[in-house]
Amino acid sequence: MSATSDQTIGSGESAPDASAADADAPAVDTVDPRFASLPQRPGKIIAVHLSYSSRADQRGRRPADPSYFLKPSSSVAASGSAIERPAGTELLAFEGEVALVVGTEARDLRLENAWAHIGWITASNDFGVYDLRGNDKGSNVRSKGRDGFTPIGPELIDARAVDPAALRVRTWVDGELAQDDTTVDLLFPLTQIVADLSQHLTLEVGDVILTGTPAGSSVVAPGQVVEVEVDAPGAPGSPSSGRLVTRVVAGTHEFDASLGSLPAVDDTQRAEAWGSREAAGLPAEQPAPATAGAEASAASARPTLDPSLRERLERTPVAALSGQLRQRGLNNVTIDGVRPLHPGAKLVGVATTLRFVPNREDLFASHGGGQNAQKRAFDAVGAGEVIVIEARGEAGSGTLGDILAIRAHARGAAGIVTDGGVRDIDAVTAVGIPVYTRGAHPAVLGRKHVPWDVDITIGVGGTTVQPGDVIVGDADGVIVIPPALVEEVVDAALAQEDEDAWIAARVAEGHPVEGLFPMNADWRAKYDAAVLRESTHFAPAETADAPQSAYFRGAPENGDAR
């Protein structure tokens, strides 16, 4: 195989040194044709789940950090090879990617030296068959680990000759361009991916890192040809991997149902594999049947939070809001027993409600399928709204999973609160939308629940929630505020927060809490004078250096201990 430039190598040529490589690079494997484009058979192949902005936008979620899965080296194939779509499957999808080949052993790297341990880059195609994702989604063992499912090559590009942020990956199907993106669009730079992996495991010479695919991945069928090319058009000589060519053929081996689960697909998998419902030939999502009109009317009639009110609520601790509601005679306004998946995130929004009733098989048969109440709620949620789910405190099954969390996030929902369980909890957490739940459970909804109704008054976590109620959550929990009281309550809570901060500063100066917390008449007069004198919420301390941080939050209630 001839090199395309002086920065590339192919089979039969010596691999170039990485910047920190040994003088003698590993020899190209000339025995097994699958590894002809690589310096040697890789000890491990590590792939990134979601890394390009364009793909993340297509999926409706942006992960905060990279996540990975492993592929066996037996899945590697050379350019010109055929890939079998397994018998009984329909959703074989291509994913053109930049492949990194480790040039020198690496452990605990930093961003600034990570690229020096990459010897070469080339093209790869991370094929997967969605029909086999059901039981091992995330690990992708069966869906992406099959023989021939990782074509790599045909040429290697010297990593020293290129900028890792200026690589281009393109994919063609039957000669038509399907994917075209650059590494500048990555959510996580290539150097971060390498350094992150190195802090968990040793990267050995010849290991391959597949760095994720951009938007445009779709389904291919037997008879089609897929080509992937990685190049660096801005580098001297415009080095290229050449086109990695793979032919799709039909497999004939039938799966044995007695050994494991069989291929299975649904419309959700079809839409994900093809890239959209339209590309999959599916009808556009329709408004909910039967009660769709009433639900749409209810949704449009729900109040919204103006930006100023939302900002004030976001600044106000739930404990402070609880204290103000208690002073107004409202004690039973917390959704008890739920904890946040994102403890540092604040939840503020207007309630839209979903009710589940206990499972009864005949009712699940009539109400659990199709565009049921659960799916209607997630399809109808509006921007800034919180889906509140009545599950009767039953945590013995999931009340939502990652697909519905993605749907709510894509529609701009402020969050989700359920007094039941959450399925696929790691994937739900990765979506990034604030979720409060009683905990994780692997079972599907139908084990314990029937989706019954939406936008009605419900009971959740020991309190009542109505559509339009204001929902606020933080690490202390979730509170429900009647809309008519929200302005009054939040302003009073913020004022009390300022007062508590002033008290905390006095305690920090050495004053005892007696007479100060809560304030007696003398301290109250001092506080009022300080506020008047400074015309600011935080009065300066009598000692100029006194701290102003609020050590205690929330209004004191008849001397309640904090």
Helix axes 292-301, 373-380, angle to 10 degrees: 40
User: Could you give phi then psi for residue 117, rounded to 5 degrees?
Assistant: -95, 0
- Do the Cβ atoms of 450 and 431 come closer than 8 Å? no
Distance in angstroms (rounded) separating the CA atoms of residues 37 and 114 = 23
| 158 belongs to an annotated ligand binding site | no
Instruction: Report the sign of the C-alpha dihedral through residues 156, 162, 167, 172, in that order.
Output: negative
Q: Element (H or E) spanning 407, and its range?
A: helix 402-410
Q: Are 439 and 341 in contact (CB under 8 A)?
A: no
Alpha carbon of 52 to those of 58, 184, 213, 335: distances in Å? 10, 9, 7, 38
Does 412 count as an annotated binding residue? no
Provide the b/e sequence for 434-457 (b: ≥16 CB within 10 Å).
bbbbbebbeeebbebbbbbbbbee
Cα angle, residue 60 at apex, residues 57 and 61 outer, rounded to 5°: 90
Question: Is 423 labelled a binding residue?
Answer: yes
CA angle (43, 49, 54) in 5-degree steps: 135
Q: Is 419 annotated as a binding residue?
A: no
DSSP notation for 447-500: GTEEEEEESS-EEETTEEE-TT-EEEEETTEEEEE-GGGHHHHHHHHHHHHHHH
d(CA 321, CA 325): 6
133 is in an annotated binding site: no
Q: Nearest-CA neighbor of 152 among 29, 67, 23, 55?
A: 29
**473 labeled binding residue:** no
Which residues make up each annotated binding site for Mg(2+)?
424
Which residues make up each annotated binding site for substrate?
401-404, 423
Which residues make up each annotated binding site?
401-404, 423-424
